[in-house]
Amino acid sequence: DAKTTQPNSMESNEEEPVHLPCNHSTISGTDYIHWYRQLPSQGPEYVIHGLTSNVNNRMASLAIAEDRKSSTLILHRATLRDAAVYYCILRSGNQFYFGTGTSLTVIP
Amino acid sequence: GAGVSQSPSNKVTEKGKDVELRCDPISGHTALYWYRQRLGQGLEFLIYFQGNSAPDKSGLPSDRFSAERTGESVSTLTIQRTQQEDSAVYLCASSLGARDTETQYFGPGTRLLVL
* Cβ proximity of B21 and B46 under 8 Å: no
* Binary contact (A36, B59; C-beta < 8 A): no
DSSP state of A32: P
Give B72 or A52, the one with higher predicted confidence: A52
**pLDDT beyond 60 at B1:** no
Predicted confidence at residue B98, as pLDDT, reads: 77
B49 Cβ neighbours under 8 A, 6+ residues apart: B31, B32, B33, B55, B67, B69, B75
**d(Cα A59, Cα A49) in Å, to the nearest integer?**
11
* Binary contact (B50, A43; C-beta < 8 A): no
* Cβ proximity of B26 and B6 under 8 Å: no
> Residue B109: its chain A contacts at CB < 8 A?
43
> Residue A97: its chain B contacts at CB < 8 A?
45
pLDDT tens track for A10-19: 999 999 999 9
* Binary contact (B105, A46; C-beta < 8 A): yes
* Cβ proximity of B45 and B60 under 8 Å: no
Helix, strand, coil content of chain B in percent (nearest 5): 5, 45, 50
Residues B40-48: what's their mean pLDDT?
Answer: 91
Pick the residue from chain B with its C-alpha nearest to A100. Answer: B42
pLDDT tens track for A57-105: 999 999 999 999 999 999 999 999 999 999 999 877 777 888 789 999 9
* Binary contact (B56, A94; C-beta < 8 A): yes
* Residue A48: closest CA among A67, A76, A26: A76
**pLDDT beyond 80 at B46:** yes
Distance from CA of B16 to the nearest CA of A (A): 27
- Dump strand ranges (E) for B1-115: 5-7, 10-13, 19-24, 31-37, 43-50, 65-69, 75-79, 88-95, 105-106, 110-114
Neighbours of B44 (CB within 10 A): 17
